[in-house]
Amino acid sequence: AMDSIAAAHSGHMGLPLGAAEIGAVLYGDQMSYNAKDPEWINRDRFILSAGHGSMFLYSWLNLAGYDLPIEELKNFRQHHSQTPGHPEFPNSEHTTPGIECTTGPLGAGVSNAVGFAASEKMAEAVYNTEEHKIFDHHIFALAGDGCFQEGVSAESAAFAAHEKLDNLIVLYDANEVTLDKMAEYTQSEDILKRYEAYGWEVYDIDGHDLDAVTETIAAAKASDNGKPKFIKCNTIIGKGMEETEGTNAAHGEAGVPYVDKAKINIGIPEGESWYVSEGTRDYFKGVQEKNSAAYDAWQETFKAWSEANPELADQLNKAVADDVPSAEEMFDMIPDMEQTDAEATRVSGYKVIQEISKILPQYVSGSADLHGSCRNYIDEGGKFGV
């Protein structure tokens, strides 16, 4: 991460250094994924809400075996590279594997994670059976002080607790730093008490203690108590770079002049760039083997489930493949609605929604409080969380 940011003369060095242990535990032990099949439907999802620290994510994706070679890390923030300044969901320009959603605007990644968690719970309810469980993954999000200052994360956090999304684990990179000043200039709340009041299960740990991070994430995964999990990881931003660590100067590329010294401080051989030890590569080969075994076992379960539930399997496979009729085809499938009297457009819209829901079983509707007034509900769709 340091070498990539130094080469680009741009980027955020503080988060990759300050949250290194968190990344090591997630990608090296606690997350379930298969780097060879990054779109596996039962993978754990990781969302970097603090998207400015993108080299954190790119570094771990490379180590974990995703198709993101070191050459792409060397091209960080360069035009047409697969390592843009903020993580971007695969699109026509960037097809970086392992990126679950575009992040950058602070707090939005927390809300994205809540949405992912709700989606997973819905998939569990629709597709899991007593005989076969094909959905049981977790959603992880790493967020910083700025993310929790934003209202968008507060609203979604309240929703997550109310809807009992206990498959959601948010890791708070609590380094007490924002870009312009230390965080004490702009915040003084007890964030653990705030999230506990929402209804979350909260933890407070040393984010640089590998054992503590491992044990806490494992406990959060195992806790199916109807509460989303909030882990405050107390960290030092830019840890290992003496000139900037623990200060808002680490929130950016101010540490570039000190990279060579910092690499020596943390044990990287002098003169080496983009260095990864053989021991580290070997360790992650073992992680890939472990993950591949779990993936293969899931495939057997999925095969048995598909054979026992052919209609559900067809529905799921079409949804995953985005195999849906075009808008024009759906128009043709919806019966003509002759109306002689004046009718409110929301009533007409309600009728169309019912027809679309018959065509697309995965269709979901919703609104903020005005569901009945706006008439955008699905008659036989049920209610989320009920």
111-138 in b/e burial notation, b at 16+ Cβ within 10 A?
Answer: bbbbbbbbebbbbeeebeeeebebbebb
Q: What is the DSSP string of 29-84?
A: II----TT-TT-TT--EEEESSGGGHHHHHHHHHHTT-S--HHHHHTTT-TT-S--
Contact 178, 186 (CB under 8 A): yes
Tens digits of pLDDT across the chain (386 residues): 999 999 999 998 899 999 999 999 999 999 999 999 999 999 999 999 999 999 999 999 999 999 999 999 999 999 999 999 999 999 888 899 999 999 989 999 999 999 999 999 999 999 999 999 999 999 999 999 999 999 999 999 999 999 999 999 999 999 888 777 777 778 889 999 999 999 999 999 999 999 999 999 999 999 999 999 999 999 998 898 888 888 887 777 888 888 999 999 889 998 899 999 999 999 999 999 999 999 999 999 999 999 999 999 999 999 999 999 999 999 999 988 877 788 888 988 999 999 999 999 888 888 877 888 888 889 988 877 65
- Cα(first)–Cα(last) distance of the chain, in Å? 45
Which secondary-structure segment (H or E) carries 173? strand 168-174
Q: What pLDDT shows up at residue 121?
A: 96
Q: What is the pTM of this model?
A: 0.94
- Strand spans (E) along 194-240: 201-206, 229-234
Whole-number Cα distances in Å, 309 to 296, 304, 316 = 20, 9, 11
Whether the CA torsion 247, 248, 250, 256 is positive or negative: it is negative
The rounded distance, in Å, linking the Cα atoms of 264 and 254 is 18
User: Residue 307: what pLDDT?
Assistant: 98
CA atoms of 146 and 131, how far apart (whole Å): 44
pLDDT of residue 385: 63
Residue in 151, 4, 8 with CA at minimum distance from that of residue 70? 4
* pLDDT tens digits for range 186-237: 888 999 999 999 999 999 999 999 999 999 999 999 999 999 999 999 999 8
Question: What pLDDT score does 246 carry?
Answer: 81
Q: Give the full edge-to-edge strand order of the sheet including 168-174.
A: 45-48, 139-144, 168-174, 229-234, 201-206
Angle between helical axes of 151-162 and 108-127 (0-180°, round to 10) = 20
pLDDT at 238: 86
